[in-house]
């Protein structure tokens, strides 16, 4: 397959050239795809019989992600040519360049690369040289580039700007197929185009004269091949098609870009001496300084991963940038560059720091934590958004290298994604000077690519690139996978799990990914097997990825919560790890403690009604205690979740379950079912009269002791008045 980009000034005839070239190529028996990259979305008009086809960007606005299909975007036109139109925003609104990026990403996600096209033609507006419109210049999209131009100065000026863009991407690499001269019939036009072509060292591969047949064909809604196959003008496109087929075979040469300076353009094309012209003018008088200040500029993320059960579900929680950075900063001897405004890095830093402080306040555990200090912003400003942030990113990376960082993550924010900064290009350039430095891009573009969970997974994938594939497993070592590193109880939970593992003679090799150094990540495969901290959707995606990538083993059960789960977990783990340690004495001690405490609080809680309202579908650790205390579970209301769907319980059938539960339904059930205790992830700000409320932690404590703590807590609640005495205002309760 060969990919061809056709660039030129707006209105110069790129779409006419592209459509007629595609039509001519179709007669060769090649399969052709033409993608229009102009907001006018008229590139494929002639191929489609004079009709417009739906654009990708309009499709994105009207079709939810899970229902998108490539067949809705690819249309078959004359000669079997497949046609796609990117489209664009309304004039004056949004960023059309970002639309090109989005179009290409969606087409790849939907499988456009899986269709075996022989030739792909991109018809691209050449006046706009921002990152979005420059996407087809990238090597993954174009093998050869044609410049369509007339002999008019502004058309040649646009062609020269395109050469500058190509030079920025390629340096001296040869990728230009030549100039297509589309005549306007102006005086001395041929001389101008000839001088320009000679100056930039490019051949004129086709000369297209003015012809009324173009207007007639457009009026009839067809290409020249279709309507006037024997006309002389049609033979030009047949010859151009032969030129392209030569590119396919590798027999037609390509050329590097040698753009002209502005003074060279003036001199060579127009015969002017720009230096003399400037000297003929006097400086304009200096204006009085304005009373008004100019607006200040504020100083200071195939590449995407589609997750199972997480991608495109509503509602989205958080942004992919925060998720990706959360993964990266848990590599303790790497630095993460946030390519975006300082505010993004500042918010993330506070976000990371607060989790560490909450851990200390609530659990008395303060794990070694300098995550918030491992973030560097590129300080994108308003000016950067307009002109691009590549230089700022390059400087930030080089500063990090100078500071001694040898492993660097680069996470992209929404602004970086919107303006189309090519992070991969920066990395490839820096790697030439610093080949030993590892630079890993996290191209999540803020929240443009999804939510926190998706960014987290993308971060995990990148960190996995640091694993040494040659290391073999060693008995007695385990990896802990998928801890919620931002949870204020995860540090305490790790210490509990580490102690339980030590009871079986097992040691933790790598925490993937929670405050882990590069050496531990490199030795990831040293573990005999892996244990999931939680079996939610994002962790199941992570588990499947690690199995596919490294062919590693996983213990069946996640971290246990409560007495019953922990006892069963230890027995299963002993068998799975082939441990020779007798775990029964420990379990018997814990069983005695549990039964003693349950017996103590059962008199207060027997026959009390319990209503559970939870996000998590894993609630048996609560139900175990409730049923052992003799409580009546009147209902379980499952809050709407973006991940899990169905409750998982050994007690299914013993109580009513309602999904998509909300606060209004909860209040209705409190009035009708009259529970004594209501458990919720988020208790109401104002409790219902006569009802006790308690919270369910999103990441509960693991191990044996949580069951006893629940029984004790509920027992204390029930013995307190359900309505505070001060509410009687000195009177007697009814």
- Give CA–CA dist 102/98, Å, rounded: 6
| Secondary structure percentages of the chain, helix, strand, coil, to 5 | 45, 15, 40
Is residue 292 in some structural domain? Answer: no
pLDDT tens readout for residues 76-108: 999 999 999 998 877 665 677 778 888 898 999
- Specify the higher pLDDT residue, 518 or 284: 518
pLDDT tens readout for residues 153-171: 899 999 999 998 888 877 7
pLDDT tens readout for residues 696-715: 988 899 999 999 999 999 99
> How many residues does the structure list for the chain?
734
Whether 458 and 483 map to the same domain: the answer is no
Whether 177 and 220 map to the same domain: the answer is yes
Is residue 294 in some structural domain? Answer: no
Q: How far is CA 198 from CA 260, 270, 550, in A?
A: 11, 14, 55
Are 421 and 339 in contact by the 8 Å Cβ rule? The answer is yes
Structure tokens at 558: 């996640």
Is residue 83 in some structural domain? Answer: yes
- Tell me the pLDDT of the chain averaged across its residues: 86
Which of 166, 189, 192, 177 has the alpha carbon at shortest distance from 259? 166
Q: Tell me: pLDDT of 298 over 50.
A: no
CATH number at residue 678: 3.40.50.1980
Is residue 351 in some structural domain? Answer: yes
Whether 406 and 508 map to the same domain: the answer is no
Whether 38 and 94 map to the same domain: the answer is yes
- Give CA–CA dist 587/590, Å, rounded: 5
Query: Poorest-confidence range of 11-25, 263-277, 425-439, 626-640?
Result: 263-277
CATH number at residue 18: 3.40.50.300
Whether 571 and 600 map to the same domain: the answer is no
End-to-end CA distance of the chain: 84
Residue 459 is part of which domain span?
A: 320-464
Is residue 314 in some structural domain? Answer: no
Q: How far is CA 227 from CA 21, 211, 212, 230, in A?
A: 14, 14, 13, 9
- Count of beta carbons in the 10 Å neighbourhood of residue 232: 10
DSSP states of 274-314: HHHHHHTSPPPPPPPPPSSPPPPPP-----S---TTTTTPS
- Identify the domain boundary among 416, 443, 464: 464
- Identify the domain boundary among 230, 255, 270: 270
Cross-strand bridge partners of residue 508: 478
Q: Tell me: pLDDT of 734 over 90.
A: no
pLDDT tens readout for residues 200-226: 999 999 999 999 999 999 999 999 999
Which of 114, 172, 122 has the alpha carbon at shortest distance from 144? 122
pLDDT tens readout for residues 437-483: 999 999 999 887 788 888 999 999 999 999 999 999 999 999 999 99
Which of 536, 539, 661, 64 has the alpha carbon at shortest distance from 314? 64
Whether 265 and 350 map to the same domain: the answer is no
Total number of domains in the chain = 4
- Give CA–CA dist 697/76, Å, rounded: 55
Whether 331 and 415 map to the same domain: the answer is yes
Whether 459 and 488 map to the same domain: the answer is no
Query: Poorest-confidence range of 112-116, 119-123, 551-555, 695-699?
Result: 695-699
Q: Where are the beta strands (DSSP E) in 423-579?
A: 438-442, 477-481, 507-512, 529-532
Q: Tell me: pLDDT of 286 over 50.
A: no
Q: Among all residues, which ones are annotated catalytic?
A: 9, 14, 40, 127
Whether 701 and 554 map to the same domain: the answer is no
Whether 446 and 492 map to the same domain: the answer is no
């Amino acid at each position: 397959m060969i990919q061809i980009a056709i660039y030129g000034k707006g209105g110069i005839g790129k779409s006419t050239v592209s459509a007629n070239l595609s039509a001519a190529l179709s007669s060769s028996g090649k399969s052709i795809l033409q993608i229009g990259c102009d907001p006018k979305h008229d590139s494929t008009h002639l191929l489609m019989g004079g009709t417009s086809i739906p654009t990708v960007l309009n499709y994105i606005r009207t079709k939810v992600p899970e229902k998108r299909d490539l067949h809705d975007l690819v249309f078959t036109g004359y000669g079997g040519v497949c046609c796609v139109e990117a489209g664009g925003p309304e004039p004056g609104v949004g960023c059309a360049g970002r639309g090109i990026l989005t179009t290409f990403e969606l087409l790849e996600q939907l499988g456009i690369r899986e269709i075996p096209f022989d030739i792909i033609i991109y018809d691209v507006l050449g006046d706009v040289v921002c990152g979005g419109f420059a996407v087809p210049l990238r090597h993954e999209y174009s093998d050869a580039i044609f410049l369509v131009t007339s002999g008019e100065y502004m058309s040649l000026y646009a062609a020269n700007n395109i050469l500058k863009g190509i030079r920025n991407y390629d340096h001296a690499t040869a990728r230009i197929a030549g100039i297509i001269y589309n005549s306007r019939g102006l005086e001395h036009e041929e001389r101008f185009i000839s001088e320009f072509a000679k100056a930039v060292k490019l051949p004129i591969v086709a000369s297209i004269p003015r012809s009324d047949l173009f207007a007639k064909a457009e009026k009839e809604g067809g290409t020249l091949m279709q309507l006037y196959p024997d006309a002389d003008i049609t033979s030009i496109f047949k010859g151009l098609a032969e030129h392209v087929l030569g590119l396919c075979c590798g027999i037609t040469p390509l050329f590097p870009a040698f753009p002209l300076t502005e003074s060279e353009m003036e001199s060579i094309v127009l015969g002017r001496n720009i230096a003399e012209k400037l000297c003929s003018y006097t400086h304009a008088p200096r204006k009085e300084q304005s009373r008004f200040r100019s607006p200040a500029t504020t100083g200071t993320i195939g590449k995407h991963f589609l997750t199972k059960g997480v991608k495109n579900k509503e509602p989205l929680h958080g942004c992919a940038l925060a998720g990706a950075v959360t993964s990266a900063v848990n590599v303790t001897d790497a630095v993460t560059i946030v390519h975006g405004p300082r505010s993004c890095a500042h918010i993330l830093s506070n976000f990371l720091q607060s989790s560490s402080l909450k851990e200390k306040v609530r659990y008395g555990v303060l794990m070694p934590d300098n995550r918030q200090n491992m973030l560097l912003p590129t300080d994108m400003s308003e000016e950067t958004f307009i002109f691009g942030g590549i230089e700022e990113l390059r400087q930030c990376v080089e500063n990090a290298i100078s500071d001694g960082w040898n492993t660097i993550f680069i996470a992209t924010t929404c602004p970086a994604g919107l303006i189309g900064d090519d992070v991969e290009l920066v990395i490839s350039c820096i790697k030439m000077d610093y080949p030993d430095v590892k630079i890993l891009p996290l191209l999540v573009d803020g929240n443009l690519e999804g939510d926190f969970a998706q960014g987290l997974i993308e971060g995990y994938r990148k960190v996995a690139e640091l694993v040494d594939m040659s290391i073999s497993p060693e008995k007695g070592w385990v990896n802990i996978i998928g801890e919620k590193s931002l949870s204020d109880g995860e540090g305490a939970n790790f210490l509990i799990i580490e102690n339980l593992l030590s009871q079986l003679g097992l040691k933790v090799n790598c925490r993937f990914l929670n405050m882990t150094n590069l050496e531990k990540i490199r030795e990831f495969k040293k573990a005999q097997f892996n244990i999931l901290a939680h079996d939610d959707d994002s962790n199941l995606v992570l588990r499947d990825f690690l199995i596919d990538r490294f062919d590693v083993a996983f213990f069946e059960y996640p971290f246990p919560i409560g007495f019953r789960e922990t006892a069963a977990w230890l027995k299963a783990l002993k068998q799975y790890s082939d441990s020779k340690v007798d775990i029964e004495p420990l379990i018997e001690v814990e069983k005695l403690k549990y039964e003693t405490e349950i017996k103590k609080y059962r008199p207060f809680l027997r026959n009390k009604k319990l209503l559970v309202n939870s996000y998590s579908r894993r609630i048996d650790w609560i139900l175990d205690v409730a049923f052992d205390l003799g409580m009546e579970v009147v209902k379980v209301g499952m809050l709407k979740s973006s991940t899990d769907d169905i409750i998982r319980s050994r007690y299914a059938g013993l109580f009513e379950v309602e999904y998509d539960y909300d606060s209004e339904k909860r209040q209705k059930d409190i009035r009708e079912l009259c529970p004594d205790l209501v458990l919720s992830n988020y208790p109401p700000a104002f409790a219902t009269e006569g009802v006790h409320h308690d919270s369910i932690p999103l990441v509960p404590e693991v191990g044996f002791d949580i069951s006893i703590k629940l029984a004790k807590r509920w027992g204390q609640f029930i013995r307190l008045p359900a309505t505070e005495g001060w509410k009687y205002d000195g009177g007697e309760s009814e």
